[in-house]
Structure 1
């Protein structure tokens, strides 16, 4: 039994060590925003570092991208999304190899069409993905575990924002217990044509007296047009009971969308 424990510990340390030896990191953010005009060209870059000690090849490519409040995420070919800007973006390379501890920059250009387009946000994503060299061995039995972490950089271009706006809608409100905490999960969709970064808040009132008992707020999250996300709010301090509540979604321009609900906080 002691020998088995030692073997398992050694395997764990070997796996942990292998993960520490290599890793690609994007250094300058995962959302790149541009306010654009017809016919103009905009330049951007992605700063990448190989934190490992061995050389690492990385492929870079474009895809369309969407997500929903149920957690589903879709990566599809360019032109799948009718608000894609993938055709506007040109990468200066699709494959690089970084030496151990090396940093580099991948550049891209955004060429906005020189013609009238509908106001609002257009987007796609640049995928940065390590290329793993698989070398099968016929003389050794065992399992080869490979962990690949790829980065998704959103490139969002906003056109004629004064003629576009987000339109936030509440899809659902539910309370679930997670890790001993009562969490209000508020699904919000953006039915408008402009990217925004809203927060969700919930104001809770005594059902009988109308007394305001408290206000709780989520973190801000980006919300692309025609997508949705679940905004989580910790309301563990609220005693079990039935309440009246006002749920408010507010974007960075102070546009507010409100919903009145009956809320039940359970004991279990």
Structure 2
């Protein structure tokens, strides 16, 4: 017996054409040819809790893993990490909550000998202004300047072989996040709830969680499910997700083992502070004996 969902997405899969397959094969071949020349040692997210007017410093340690000398460029960008729009890296200082204007890199170009490890220092000078509150962030990008060629062969229309020569350019992002004390409004909204059947025939409830406040949230997210008699059926975790102001994250809960019936779902988000955010949804699972 399979269950028919009262609200289920039908947008699954895509036409099987040669072009997506060729693109996927090319991507796999390119990845297999990439080699890591310079590595960022340690965590790639640096968190700072500051006060207005304070100056803080940090260091990013780089290591040359290659047998040749590496020239490395270090520079600032902003970044957007959002489950709707994906990753973006706009110019430094372009976002309203960018801390790039406060951040100075003490080195922007360095040479690393084979096997050498060295620190890149940065300094953040927080303005002493009344409207500074909540969370600000930017990226420190690390980009080796030595590009290497990767040969990728792909089949053409059957009359020969096509050779692509690509120059790989790898860069690394180190996220710098600045929290001004415990200030900033915490506010979340829940949007676009959907009950889905996946390609793997799993039943998933999905909702977007949007941070409309002024402060980074890193909450626990879970769903509590109750039947039509008010009895708790179970709790389902979506783990912890880091949500910057203005960004959204998806929370997905696997409800494949829930029997047919009417249910009340409570989605709860707890950042560890005084407030727990929540939303409630009515879900119906209908037995479908005909499929």
TM-score by length of 1: 0.80
Partner of 2:135: 121
Q: Quick check: 1:22–1:54 contact (8 Å CA) kept in 2?
A: no
**Cα distance in 2 for residues equivalent to 1:133 and 1:147:** 6
Structure 2: 5+ residue stretches without partners: 1-28, 152-161
Other-structure match for 2:76: 62
Aligned length: 252
Moved over 6 A (4+): 14-17
Residue 93 of structure 1, CA deviation: 1.6
Post-superposition CA distance 1:157-190 (Å, at most 9, x none): 11242x4232111122223325454333221111
Structure 2 residue aligned with 1:193: 214
Separation of aligned partners in 1, 2:206 and 2:144? 34
Corresponding residue for residue 96 of structure 1? 110
Rounded Cα–Cα distance in structure 2 between residues aligned with 1:186 and 1:127: 32
User: What is the aligned partner in structure 2 of residue 164 from structure 1?
Assistant: 184
Partner in structure 1 of residue 55 of structure 2: 41
Query: 1:45 Cα shift?
Result: 1.0
> Over residues 137-159 of structure 1, what are the superposed CA-to-partner deviations in whole Å (9 max), with x where a residue is unaligned?
9xxx9322444443222211112
1:24 aligned to 2:24?
A: no
- Which residue does 2:11 correspond to in 1? none
Whole-angstrom distance in 1 between the partners of 2:257 and 2:150: 55
Matched position secondary structure for 2:165: coil
Larger relative contact order, structure 1 or 2 (CA cutoff 8 Å, min sep 6): 2
CA distance in 2, matches of 1:168, 1:38: 25
Pair 1:136–1:199, CA change in 2 (3 A): closer
**Distance in 2 separating the partners of 1:134 and 1:127:** 19
- Structure 1 residue 245: Cα displacement: 0.6
CA distance in 2, matches of 1:22, 1:143: 21
1:52 corresponds to which of 66, 75, 96: 66
CA RMSD, Structure 1 to Structure 2 (Å): 3.1
For residue 79 of structure 2, give the secondary structure of its aligned residue in structure 1: strand
Alpha-carbon spacing, 1:235–1:49, altered in 2? closer, same or farther (3 Å): farther
Please say if residues 73 and 108 of structure 2, whose CA atoms lie closer than 8 Å, have aligned partners that are also in contact: yes
Aligned in 2, Cα 1:23/1:77: closer, same or farther, shift over 3 Å?
Answer: same
TM-score, normalising length: structure 2: 0.75
**Aligned residue among 245, 262, 265 for 2:265:** 245
Q: Structure 1's 186 and 116: CA in aligned 2 closer, same or farther, altered over 3 A?
A: same
The SS at the match of 2:101 is helix
